Amino acid sequence: MATLNRRKFFKAAGAGGAAMAAAGIAAPAIAQSAPELKWRMTASWPKSLDTLYGGAEAFAKYVSEATDGKFQIQVFAAGEIVPGLQATEAVGAGTVEMCHTAPYYMWGKDPTFALGCATPFGLNTRMQQSWWNEGGGEKLMNEFYAKHNVFDLYAGNTTAQMGGWFRKELNTPDDLKGVKMRIAGFAGAVMAKVGMVPQQIAGGDIYPALEKGTIDAAEWVGPYDDEKLGFYKVAKYYYYPGWWEGGAMIHIHVNKEKWEGLSAHYKAVLRAAAAQSAILLIGKYDALNPQAVKRLVANGTQLRPFSEGILDVCFKAANDVYAEISAKNEDFKKVWESIKAFRGDQYLWVQVAENTYDTYMMIQQRKKTL
């Protein structure tokens, strides 16, 4: 049987299965559980970001392998069929079955989206993963996502991000005043409160804006991804940490009806493959960033921590933004309260075994005894 005909046959069989399901008629067990499917997944990333785009591709590969090739997902880069920032909306509308995205891109529509991704002074990577799976995060966020017609699968994290590239040094909170920075969403709202001028600029336009001095600063992700965009050539100071992204969760959004139409078997495969891609993505960032930061420093980049004074005014401003949004958005309030309670416990416990261990090891690293 030629590939084309085989595809047509299965497409027809799939449509028939859906019609039978709608009419409440049971199709043969094997056809219900493992039909041949061909879905499209739009990513919010260009192919050049091999970390994030690679996470989407790995997910599709894992699904194919775990279904013996029956469930095929074709991955598209940002802009190929859907603009990167509109991925979730396209899934909700049914234009594509799935997307691989950072939900805070939907912040403008409802800030609650950002809580399923990263917000200022939130949880770190491992805490987010635990909150999602064991702290009620998945349930709370999927209740919210249902209103936007999507179902969410956790698919990893960028790990703690850097604070971005600055053309001048920042020492005190006063140095923040008037700094034009490329930053989006929630963090931009906080920065506006401390006197900065947040600018929304698409990925490809950041470098020329920073080079010409149209903006004074820009943030992207971390050493490995940022190096590719070349920012180190036009801004000398690389600040840390990205206090607005202690960890940015990456998610797969599935059109809600499409998700609900899947067999329990296929739902289980998607869950497992998403988990596998999450481990891959976090592991990649952890493995690639150390080499990248060493290369950047060798190329003249100056690493600078934000001063405690700067972090303090930003922390206060972030709490004001949380309070303002919570006062007018019930969904946001409910999820934020859950994260906040979890955060307090996590940052108590992490001080005991985990951080004491890491601190001793960091001391050895500085002594060059590792």
Q: Which of residues 43-82 bind its own copies (CB under 8 A)?
A: 62, 65-68
The nearer residue to its own copies, 94 or 344, going by C-beta atoms, is 344
Q: Where are the beta strands (DSSP E) in the chain?
A: 37-43, 71-76, 98-101, 150-157, 164-166, 180-182, 197-199, 217-218, 237-240, 249-255, 302-305
Of 185, 168, 172, nearest to 242 by C-alpha is: 185
Residue among 146, 202, 287, 327 that touches its own copies (CB under 8 A)? 287
Q: Which residue has the tokens 């008037």?
A: 178
What's the CA gap between 52 and 43, in Å, rounded? Answer: 9
Inter-residue contact 68 to 35 (CB < 8 Å): no
In the complex, the smallest distance separating the C-beta of residue 367 from its own copies, rounded to whole angstroms, is 10
Cα torsion angle, 178, 179, 180, 186, sign: negative
**Which residues in the 326-365 window bind its own copies by CB under 8 A?**
340, 342-358, 360-362, 364-365
Inter-residue contact 165 to 235 (CB < 8 Å): yes
The nearer residue to its own copies, 77 or 127, going by C-beta atoms, is 127
Q: Is 264 an interacting residue with respect to its own copies (CB under 8 A)?
A: yes
Strand order in the sheet with 217-218: 197-199, 180-182, 217-218, 164-166, 237-240, 302-305
Q: Is 106 an interacting residue with respect to its own copies (CB under 8 A)?
A: no
Residue among 143, 214, 290, 330 that touches its own copies (CB under 8 A)? 290
Q: Is 124 an interacting residue with respect to its own copies (CB under 8 A)?
A: yes
* Degrees, nearest 5: CA angle 318-321-325: 145
The strand pairing partners of 76, in sequence order, are 42
In the complex, the smallest distance separating the C-beta of residue 343 from its own copies, rounded to whole angstroms, is 6
Q: Where are the beta strands (DSSP E) in 110-196?
A: 150-157, 164-166, 180-182
The nearer residue to its own copies, 62 or 104, going by C-beta atoms, is 62
Q: Is 286 an interacting residue with respect to its own copies (CB under 8 A)?
A: yes
The nearer residue to its own copies, 65 or 174, going by C-beta atoms, is 65
Q: Is 22 an interacting residue with respect to its own copies (CB under 8 A)?
A: no
What's the CA gap between 235 and 293, in Å, rounded? Answer: 15
Q: Is 15 an interacting residue with respect to its own copies (CB under 8 A)?
A: no
Instruction: Compose the 155-174 pattern: x for residues touching its own copies by CB under 8 A, - for all others.
Output: ----xxxxx-----------
**Segment near its own copies (CB under 8 A); pick from 107-115, 188-196, 257-265, 327-335:** 257-265
* Degrees, nearest 5: CA angle 192-196-200: 75
Q: Is 6 an interacting residue with respect to its own copies (CB under 8 A)?
A: no
Residue among 84, 103, 116, 135 that touches its own copies (CB under 8 A)? 135
Residue among 12, 268, 323, 327 that touches its own copies (CB under 8 A)? 268
The nearer residue to its own copies, 48 or 356, going by C-beta atoms, is 356
Question: How many positions of this chain bind its own copies (CB under 8 A)?
Answer: 86
